[in-house]
Amino acid sequence: MDRLHSDPSFLVCPDFMTERYRVSRTSMVNANVTEAQAAETLHNIWITTNEDLCLQWHQQVVEDEHLNAERRRLAEEEAERQKAVLELEEATSRADERKKNRFKHLPIPVRPRPLVNDEEALVSEFALRKLDKGHYVELYYWTNHGLDDAMLNYCTRDDDSMVPTKGEDGFTVCINAASSKPASGVIADRNLIPADFSQAVPRIVAALEDRDWAPQKVLMLAQFWGAIMVHRYWNSRDMLAQRAILLFQEEQRRAWHSAITSAKGAWDISVIDETALARTFERVYRSSLIRSDDPKPNPQFSKWAG
């Protein structure tokens, strides 16, 4: 059925008795049909055809309305889909930006400056960045000497340059040059004296909590350090035992941090591995024997026992 392009209800039935329709009338005239009757027949045919066209037009209008409504629905759905995609992209972009610039988006409470005490000391930017990444970092940075070193470098440096580095999401980001450099006088955990170790532990535990570490990991480390400081080796009069437990603490914590991102995963570090500790003591003891026999510095002892 051909598509109509205008409403046939607006058409006016012509006068079939006019000269224009003479041929149509005369073709119908015979002994039983007069010219007037032929014109009437043409009139009736036109009326019937127009009624059919009007019905067709009405159906066409209804179908067009349904089709247009479906097109509008699809267009609205597509617009909603594109809006949702755009909102998701914007949300993802904002999340990425907040992740890369976490400190810029930290909320600041409207309050006077809190009272400052000695415990709220300045910590090395390098050490804090290590914590943010979940990497191993030496306890030295939270000793009195480490805090003094961080304050000295903070007050004297004028290097505001930026250096590129790879972020946790794999993208290259620029960070302050100071946060990419370790302290020049950093002391390995194995070489700390017990007093420095005891100073550093509560400070680094507080720093772990402030840097949004998982409570389970913070508790494990806190219990691990607590177990170290109540162990018989820690309180032993034997200097080799003290060296062994400090070396054990460093090696266990390094291995634990590395295992977190490995396929096998980490373990509950708060449980002291007495077998591993005994092996560490044996290594320290053997190294001390070698050093006592050799007046020259022993690289093996330096590696194990500091």
Q: For residues 19 and 23, what is the distance between their CA atoms, to the nearest angstrom?
A: 8
Q: Contact at 8 Å (CB) between 195 and 144? A: no
Global pTM reads 0.54
Least confident of 95-99, 142-146, 213-217: 95-99
Task: State the average pLDDT over residues 46-73.
Answer: 94
Query: Residue 12 above 80 pLDDT?
Result: yes
> Which tens digits make up the pLDDT trace of 155-171?
544 455 444 555 555 55
Query: Residue 89 above 70 pLDDT?
Result: yes
Identify the three-state secondary structure at position 218: helix
List the one residue out of 188, 198, 204, 221 whose CA is nearest residue 303: 188
Please return the burial class of 291, using the count of CB atoms within 10 Å of its CB with bins 0-12, 13-18 and 19+.
Answer: middle
Question: What would the two tokens of residue 250 be?
Answer: 């460093």
> Which tens digits make up the pLDDT trace of 100-157?
887 777 788 888 876 655 545 688 999 999 999 999 999 999 999 999 988 887 654 4
Q: For residues 283 and 145, what is the distance between their CA atoms, to the nearest angstrom?
A: 29
Q: For residues 180 and 185, what is the distance between their CA atoms, to the nearest angstrom?
A: 15
DSSP character for 32? S
The pLDDT mean for the chain works out to 85
Give the pLDDT confidence score for residue 77 in this predicted structure: 95
Query: Residue 198 above 50 pLDDT?
Result: yes
Task: State the average pLDDT over residues 274-300.
Answer: 79
Residue 274 amino acid letter: E
Residue 280 CB contacts under 8 Å (≥ 6 apart), including other chains: 244, 245, 247, 248, 251
Tokens 């005369």 appear where? 26
Phi, psi of 224 (to 5 degrees): -65, -50
Distance of CA 151 to the CA centre of its chain: 33
Give the pLDDT confidence score for residue 86 in this predicted structure: 95
